[in-house]
Amino acid sequence: MAPLLEVRNLTVAFDTPSGTVHAVNDVSYTLEEGETLGIVGESGSGKSVHALSMVGLIASPPGRVVAGEVLFQGRNLLTLPKRELFEVRGKEIGFVFQDPMTSLNPVLTIERQIAEPLRRHFGMSALAASNRVVELLELVGIPDAARRAKQYPHEFSGGMRQRVMIAIGISCNPKLLIADEATTALDVTVQAQILDLVRDLKRRIGTTVIWITHDMGVVAGLADTVQVMYGGRIMERGPVRPVFHDPRSAYTWGLLKSLPHGGKRGVTRLYQIPGNPPDLTKPPLGDPFAPRNQFATARCHTEVPPLLDVAGSTPGHKVAAWYDLRAELAGQAELTGQEGQP
Amino acid sequence: MKSFFLALIKSRAGLFGFLLVTVFVLAALLAPYLGLPSPTRSNLVARMAAPTWTGIFSPGAHPLGTDELGRDVLSRILHGSRITLAIAAASVVLGGIVGTLLGIVAGYYRGIVDRVLMRVVDIQLALPLMLLALLVVAALGPSTRNLIIVLALTSWLRYARIIRGQVLALREREFILSAHAIGAGTWRIMIKHLLPNVMTPALVIATLELARIIIMDAALSFLGLGVQPPNPSWGRMLADGRVYISTAWWIVTFPGVAIVLTVLSVNLLGDWLRDYFDPKLRTMR
């Protein structure tokens, strides 16, 4: 069966007064129906921009898609006429954004905002939409839904608003739900509730999900596949287990090492990846992570490594690296007599 | 509707403004049926009769006196309010709709559309409004319809300027991105998402503008470019009565009081409406 989404060589740039920012570079991957893909990376890694550019949501100018194809159910979204693209947005692909405090229109009732995609895409009557809104609110776990629907966003807490955002995102039963840092603005207990809700919804309605975050822990608990991005490129991707237990990219390894371990390690300071993210107006010639990578070889600085299957790991585990992280770590462990892996 | 009145009763200023506006509108609507003397029939025998409150219900009584041609001042004020309020309301609505929509368009599209519209606003702001109004009336000729057009013309740019600024800030907010993400087109975003967000400032400007337009209408009539005699208008009454202020104070005073009270009540009501339409303030009540 053809994959639900196939991204081929997606390249996105922003023309700014200080030069062209190469935000997304040659990103390719496929997403199967029903899969949950977790995309991780730090700020400026291109993870949000690549998702927004797929459905034409980046401001243009300054943003522009330089090259690539985004095949969604066989149709290239990047060349779709505007009118058809509007039909895809909200109906086929739902979005949940980062900040539930600002993503809802402050002067419209919750009901009107959830009903809007229903009325827009299905031409539902006000009454039918209103009934569906109450159903959706109940589905996302908002108590007293009929009364709450008539309220305004400021009468909801952050977690409740994010539930409303999710209700809007899934209102038209989209094939694909893209959550862009959907739990980042929430505190940890609320985040856990929202993640539970998403898992529950996935089980019930079987939506395919792209979950964009910078939190490795969220990905571990939610995703089937994880994709690590840096400098607008995919550094490593694969099923969650091999990527977390046997990372082959120095960047993934660094990210996992920087995770707090709940005091298990006593008073050791948290690991920190040295250096700063690359200046994407002047992207490095080779591997974007090379300048911060202690294992970088000469070739890393001059040539971009291709994303290739990792020999001897789980199928689907791919990495873009010229160096062999496992060999390097083994060598390091020999020298110091310590376990190098996190 | 019930909650509207409940909220209104709680606010003293709002209630006062609402009642006063209601009284003015009712008086204007009912003016021909109150059994008043004709506002245009002169009676030279009874010219400049002082206000008398004895026998107030008899046909010949003039509770607010008569003017220099012996016409009943009360009747002229009430009949004048019909024209004045209709003109003011029509120009506020016309100027408000045009100005708000152009402001949203300019702020949303930015670029060339915005620059052209805002330069037009700048040019018009550089011209004295009264001069512009005089020019247009002189060119088109004085009539009620032209007066409405002229007053709306002096009014739209205030909406456009302020609403444009608001929209420039609003369009970058995340909820507009959310609206794009659910497949809303440009028109839907402007009307369903941006317009409700700028209703509050638009309403505030409208109340200020209604007051300003009543005064401007009075000024134009005062200059003889507004409502044409013998039809009564408040500005005209001020203009004609000002000569007699030392001998017959009531001719000029009562239309003046009518203008002041109307402007005041509209401002009070507008202030309250603004709070009423703000969802954040609404739940606090």
DSSP code string of A173-214: --SEEEEESTTTTS-HHHHHHHHHHHHHHHHHH--EEEEEES
Q: Look at residue B42 and tell me if it is in a domain.
A: no
In chain B, residues with a C-beta closer than 8 Å to the C-beta of A108 are 193, 196
Q: Does B283 have pLDDT greater than 60?
A: no
Calpha distance A169→A163 (Å, rounded) = 10
Calpha distance A48→A32 (Å, rounded) = 20
pLDDT, one tens digit per residue, over B234-244 is 888 888 888 88
**What share of chain B in percent tops pLDDT 70?**
94
Report residue A319: phi and psi, to 5°: -145, 150
CB contact under 8 A, A105 and B185: no
Pairing of strands A318-319, A233-239: antiparallel
Asked whether the beta carbons of A49 and A257 are under 8 A apart, the reply is: no
B186 touches chain A (CB under 8 A): no
Q: Which residues contact B139 (CB under 8 A, 6 or more apart)?
A: none
SS3 label, residue B66 = strand
Burial of A204 (0-12, 13-18, 19+ CB in 10 A): exposed
CB contact under 8 A, A95 and B175: no
Domain coordinates of chain A in residue numbers?
Answer: 90-223, 232-262+270-336
Burial of A219 (0-12, 13-18, 19+ CB in 10 A): buried
CATH of the domain at B137: 1.10.3720.10
For residue B249, the tally of other CB atoms under 10 A from its CB is 14
pLDDT for residue A340: 46
Asked whether the beta carbons of B164 and B114 are under 8 A apart, the reply is: yes
Q: Does B113 have pLDDT greater than 70?
A: yes
Residue numbers of chain A with a pLDDT score lower than 70: 1, 261-268, 336-342
Q: Look at residue B37 and tell me if it is in a domain.
A: no
CB contact under 8 A, B185 and A102: no
Question: CA of B112, closest CA in chain A: separation in Å?
Answer: 14
Cβ contacts below 8 Å, chain A against chain B, sum to 75
pLDDT, one tens digit per residue, over B73-87 is 888 888 888 888 888
Calpha distance A39→A32 (Å, rounded) = 15
Asked whether the beta carbons of A319 and A249 are under 8 A apart, the reply is: yes
A34: which DSSP letter? T
Q: With a CB-CB cutoff of 8 Å, which residues 141-180 of chain B face chain A?
A: 173-175, 177-180
Q: Look at residue B6 and tell me if it is in a domain.
A: no
Q: Does B62 have pLDDT greater than 50?
A: yes
Q: Look at residue B225 and tell me if it is in a domain.
A: yes
CA angle A195, A196, A202 (to 5 degrees): 90
Q: Look at residue B46 and tell me if it is in a domain.
A: no
In chain A, residues with a C-beta closer than 8 Å to the C-beta of B178 are 95, 97, 103-105, 165, 168
Q: Look at residue B39 and tell me if it is in a domain.
A: no
Residue among A86, A94, A155 minimizing CB distance to B283: A155
Asked whether the beta carbons of A12 and A23 are under 8 A apart, the reply is: yes
* Phi-psi category of residue A68: left, alpha or beta, with phi > 0 → left and psi -120 to 50 → alpha: left
CB contact under 8 A, A105 and B183: no
Give, in order, the Cα–Cα distances in Å from B166 to each of B64, B160, B185: 47, 10, 20
Question: CA of B175, closest CA in chain A: separation in Å?
Answer: 4
Question: CA of B173, closest CA in chain A: separation in Å?
Answer: 7
Supply the CATH classification number for the domain A90-223.
3.40.50.300
Torsion of CA B31, B32, B33, B37, to 10 degrees: 100
Calpha distance B88→B2 (Å, rounded) = 28
Calpha distance B39→B69 (Å, rounded) = 11
pTM above 0.80, yes or no: no
Q: Does B96 have pLDDT greater than 90?
A: yes
Q: Is it true that the peptide bond before A61 is cis, omega within 30 degrees of 0?
A: yes
Summarize the confidence of residues B56-79 as an average pLDDT: 77
Q: Facing residues of A89 across strands?
A: A93
- Band (pLDDT 50/70/90 cuts) for residue B94 is very high
If one counts the domains in chain B, the total is: 1
Mean pLDDT of chain B: 84
Q: Which residues contact A15 (CB under 8 A, 6 or more apart)?
A: A21, A61, A62, A64
CA angle A219, A174, A181 (to 5 degrees): 30
Q: At what angle do helices B156-170 and B73-109 cross, to 10 degrees?
A: 30
Q: Does B1 have pLDDT greater than 70?
A: no
Which of A83, A105, A108, A118 best tests the B interface by mutation, with the highest count of B CBs <10 A?
A105
pLDDT, one tens digit per residue, over B172-211 is 888 888 888 888 888 888 988 899 889 888 888 888 888 7
Cα-Cα-Cα-Cα dihedral sign, residues B225, B228, B230, B234: negative
Give, in order, the Cα–Cα distances in Å from B133 to each of B100, B122, B146, B161: 21, 16, 10, 20
HSE, CB side, 13 Å, CA atoms: give it for residue A43. Answer: 2
Report residue A298: phi and psi, to 5°: -60, -35
pLDDT for residue B90: 93
User: What is the side-by-side strand order in the sheet with A208-213?
Assistant: A93-96, A176-180, A208-213, A36-40, A225-230, A233-239, A318-319, A308-309
CB contact under 8 A, B180 and A89: yes
B285 touches chain A (CB under 8 A): no
Q: Look at residue B232 and tell me if it is in a domain.
A: yes
CA angle A285, A286, A292 (to 5 degrees): 105
Nearest residue to B66 via CA among B36, B29, B32 = B36
pLDDT, one tens digit per residue, over A145-203 is 889 999 999 889 888 888 899 889 888 888 899 988 888 777 888 888 888 888 888 88
DSSP code string of A225-261: EEEEEETTEEEEEEEHHHHHHS--SHHHHHHHHTS--
- Band (pLDDT 50/70/90 cuts) for residue B8 is confident
Q: Which residues contact A87 (CB under 8 A, 6 or more apart)?
A: A121, B183
Pairing of strands A208-213, A176-180: parallel
- Domain of residue B265 covers 11-31+63-284
For residue B98, the tally of other CB atoms under 10 A from its CB is 17
H helices, E strands: number in chain A: 11, 12
Q: What is the ipTM of this complex?
A: 0.78
B70: its two tokens: 């012996």
A29 touches chain B (CB under 8 A): no
Q: Look at residue B53 and tell me if it is in a domain.
A: no
Question: CA of B184, closest CA in chain A: separation in Å?
Answer: 7
Residue among A89, A106, A121 minimizing CB distance to B181: A89
Asked whether the beta carbons of A10 and A79 are under 8 A apart, the reply is: no
CB contact under 8 A, A107 and B174: no
Asked whether the beta carbons of A86 and A166 are under 8 A apart, the reply is: no
Calpha distance B236→B145 (Å, rounded) = 17
Residue among B174, B199, B280 minimizing CB distance to A97: B174
